[in-house]
Amino acid sequence: MATNRTFTMLKPDSVEKGYIGAILEKINASGFRIVAVKLTQMTKGDAEAFYAVHSERPFYGELVEYMTRGPILAAILEKENAVEDFRTLIGATNPADAAEGTIRKLYAASIGENAVHGSDSDENAAIESAFHFSGREMF
C-alpha cells in the first residue's frame, strides 16, 4: 500500500468543546503524520462549495450553518492507506452507529454534529487539501 495523504477537519463542535488536543493525540497515536495544520473559519460560500455534493439533501442548510459557526482545525495527514485507515479511525457518520474507540463514538454528539471530517477518496483528499492549504503550508 502506498504512503499517501488524507484531509481532515475537526469541526466547530470539537473546537468549542476543547477536544482538539485529545483528537490530535489519537490521530498521532494511530500512526498519522501531520503534514499541514491550521485553525480557520469557513465562510458560507466555502461550506456550500465544500459540501456541494450534498446541496440537494434536506440537511444541507443546517450543515452549512454548523460548519461556519466557529473555527475548525484543518489538517492534512500522511500514512500508508491514509484515506481508508482514517475513515476507520473516525467511525460511521452517525456516532450512534460508530464502533467503540472511534473518534465519532468518543467525541461526536449527533449525525449532524459529528466532530470530524475525513476524505472519502484519494481524489477528494487532494481536492479538499488544496481547498484549505497552499503548497507552502504543506510539510
Burial (CB < 10 A; 0-12, 13-18, 19+), residue 66, is middle
Interface pick for ligand DAT out of 30, 68, 93, 124 (rule CB under 6 A): 93
Residue among 5, 26, 117, 132 flagged as catalytic: 117
**x/- letters, 27..66, toward ligand DAT (CB under 6 A):** ---------------------------x----x---x---
Q: Binding-site residues for ATP, please? A: 11, 59, 87, 93, 104, 114
Residue 112 binding: pick among ligand DAT, Mg ion, none (C-beta 5-8 Å cut-off by kind): ligand DAT
The x, y and z cell numbers of residue 24, run together, are 490530535
The kind and range of the H/E element at 126 are helix 122-132
Is 117 known to be catalytic? yes
For residue 125, the one-letter residue type is A
120 binds ligand DAT (CB under 6 A): yes
**Residue with Cβ nearer ligand DAT (100 or 134):** 100
Q: Which stretch binds ligand DAT (CB under 6 A): 28-36, 95-103, 110-118, 128-136?
A: 110-118
**Three-state SS sequence of 34-73:** EEEEEEECCCHHHHHHHCHHHCCCCCHHHHHHHHCCCCEE
Nearest to 108 by CA among 3, 9, 25, 28: 9
